[in-house]
């Protein structure tokens, strides 16, 4: 079989791919060498802006299969019957570091699932923790700036990290998660995933429910100590990527069982704390886990750049039967994620293979823009309504409407009877074994002891004392010992 001919991007055959055209054997190169200029120009443009957060990621394809009937809570078509299968793409990631960072670091992990449903793509964008550091999106840029590399030193600075947390007592719950044993997963396969936010499900009768998603790993939880992670990050910075890739190539199919917690919408207003607060979990004794189905990964991407780096997840990609809640952080992400992808990938990023619907066809009036391939033919119109059989609205909302009241303005979330920034952090601490508590205290003290300002140290210690007296005393003693006080 004859080999294919190498061509330029315009399809012309390339005569010589080893030597540039020059003015004589030893002369300067020629501007007319179209093949050379095309290669160099394309090479200069092979990278796109990396994500500000979640830059370092891995991904895989698979399917989601419904195992339990949840039609009493949602009329989402892909959840409509036991045995129903939907193709998925999942992207895992670290949060704070850049694209070149190591995998085995103490950092939350992104856990994003794209369901290619017959009613359009549904994106569930979560983390491997059920809570987060803040509860209002207006603080998000400040929070990320505090965790990123310092503008002067060019590295992550404990002074910045702990100074922000010192002024944000709501972060204490997530800090306890992050500094605990689950702060460094051994691999992407050995960690849970959570929707983290509160979402809304609506059933066929129009009844609304608020839900939280829990993907429980079927491989079991496995984590690294700080010492193990430091060694692994130095010997194999790509450890989590390598593990996921090789497991699937070996025929191992990582899987997670999906559960949801369900709260009738009418209960939310009088729940003892704000159920839309991203810094809090719903206790399982109040709202037990209900099994929904199983997520299985069985195919690696052929091209990491095309399918992982260019994968675009947006929490506002809902399908009928699923919608948002008043969760402030979720509301902010509904804009921010889609806008990030328009910046990074262009307004037509939804036409890329990894982002395009697979079980249905997108039909709308979006035209033009960078890399447009959606001309839709000479007779198609790009306005609505029209008289030319173009796509029309359904008149059926995806989810139930959210009630609103009050005056416009900047408001703190309404207080419920037991809203508190410290209680759940203390409960999490008391759930830990003696060994887990010791490692947690050591991890916190190791970072906090590096902070140069005494007032910042005191403010952080106050958060741990408020969460649990023993927790506070042990962290304070460990910090004093490390600082030689």
What are the residue numbers of the active site? 54, 127
φ, ψ of residue 475 in degrees (nearest 5) = -65, -45
Residue 187 CA to residue 177 CA, distance in Å, equals: 17
Question: Distance from CA of residue 334 to its chain's centroid?
Answer: 13
Residue 51 CA to residue 55 CA, distance in Å, equals: 5
Q: Name the β-bridge partners of 60.
A: 90
Residue 107 CA to residue 447 CA, distance in Å, equals: 13
Q: Which residues, at least 6 apart from 213, have a Cβ–Cβ distance to it below 8 Å?
A: 124, 126, 193, 194, 195, 199, 258, 259, 260
What secondary structure letter does DSSP report for 309?
Answer: I
Helix pair angle (469-483, 454-467), 10° resolution: 150
CB-based contact 31:265 (threshold 8 Å) = no
95, two tokens:
């949060």
CB-based contact 385:188 (threshold 8 Å) = no
What secondary structure letter does DSSP report for 105?
Answer: S
Q: Is 429 helix (H, G, I), strand (E, B) or coil?
A: helix
CB-based contact 29:36 (threshold 8 Å) = yes
Residue 435 CA to residue 439 CA, distance in Å, equals: 6
Residue 471 CA to residue 462 CA, distance in Å, equals: 10
Q: How many CA atoms lie within 13 A of 479 on its CB side?
A: 23
372, two tokens:
């447009």
CA-wise closest residue to 55 among 93, 91, 90, 92: 93
Count of C-beta atoms within a 10 Å radius of residue 304: 15
The secondary structure element, H or E, covering residue 476 is helix 469-483
CB-based contact 396:204 (threshold 8 Å) = no
């Amino acid at each position: 079989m004859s080999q294919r001919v190498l061509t330029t991007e315009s399809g012309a055959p390339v005569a010589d791919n080893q030597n540039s055209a020059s003015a004589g054997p030893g002369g300067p190169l020629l501007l007319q060498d179209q093949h050379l200029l095309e290669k160099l120009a394309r090479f200069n443009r092979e990278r796109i802006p990396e994500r500000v957060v979640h830059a370092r990621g891995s991904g895989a394809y698979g399917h989601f299969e419904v195992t339990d009937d949840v039609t009493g809570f949602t009329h989402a078509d892909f959840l409509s019957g036991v045995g129903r299968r939907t193709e998925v793409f999942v992207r895992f990631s670290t949060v704070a570091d850049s694209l070149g960072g190591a995998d085995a670091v103490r950092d939350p992990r992104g856990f994003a699932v794209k369901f290619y449903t017959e009613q359009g793509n549904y994106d569930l964008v979560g983390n491997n923790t059920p809570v987060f550091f803040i509860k209002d999106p207006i603080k998000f840029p400040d929070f990320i700036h505090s965790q990123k590399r310092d503008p002067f030193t060019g590295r992550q600075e404990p002074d910045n990290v702990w100074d922000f947390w010192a002024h944000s007592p709501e972060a204490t719950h997530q800090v306890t998660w992050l500094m605990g044993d689950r702060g460094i997963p051994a691999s992407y396969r050995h960690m849970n995933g959570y929707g983290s936010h509160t979402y809304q499900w609506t059933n066929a009768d129009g009844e609304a429910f608020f839900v939280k998603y829990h993907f429980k790993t079927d491989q079991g939880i496995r984590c690294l100590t700080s010492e193990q992670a430091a060694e692994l990050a130095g010997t194999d910075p790509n450890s989590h990527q390598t593990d996921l890739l090789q497991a699937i190539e070996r025929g191992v199919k990582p899987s997670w069982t999906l559960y949801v917690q369900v709260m009738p919408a009418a209960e939310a207003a009088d729940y003892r704390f704000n159920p839309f607060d991203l810094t809090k979990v719903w206790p399982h004794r109040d709202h037990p886990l209900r099994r929904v189905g199983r997520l299985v990964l069985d195919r690696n991407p052929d091209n990491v750049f095309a399918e992982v780096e260019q994968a675009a997840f947006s929490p506002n990609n809902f399908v009928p039967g699923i919608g948002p809640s008043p969760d402030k952080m979720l509301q902010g992400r509904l804009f921010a994620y889609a806008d990030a992808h328009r910046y990074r990938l262009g307004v037509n990023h939804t036409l890329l293979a990894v982002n395009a619907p697979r079980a249905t066809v997108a039909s709308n009036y979006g035209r033009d823009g960078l890399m447009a391939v959606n001309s839709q033919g000479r007779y198609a119109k790009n306005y609505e309504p029209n008289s030319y059989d173009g796509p029309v609205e359904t008149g059926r909302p995806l989810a139930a409407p959210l009630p609103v009241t009050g005056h416009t303005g900047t408001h703190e979330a309404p207080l419920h009877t037991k809203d508190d920034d410290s209680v759940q952090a203390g409960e999490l601490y008391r759930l830990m074994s003696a060994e887990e508590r010791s490692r947690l205290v050591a991890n916190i003290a190791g970072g906090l002891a590096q902070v140069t300002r005494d007032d910042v140290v005191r403010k952080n210690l106050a958060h741990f004392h408020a969460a649990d007296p023993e927790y506070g005393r042990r962290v304070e003693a460990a910090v004093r010992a490390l600082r030689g006080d």
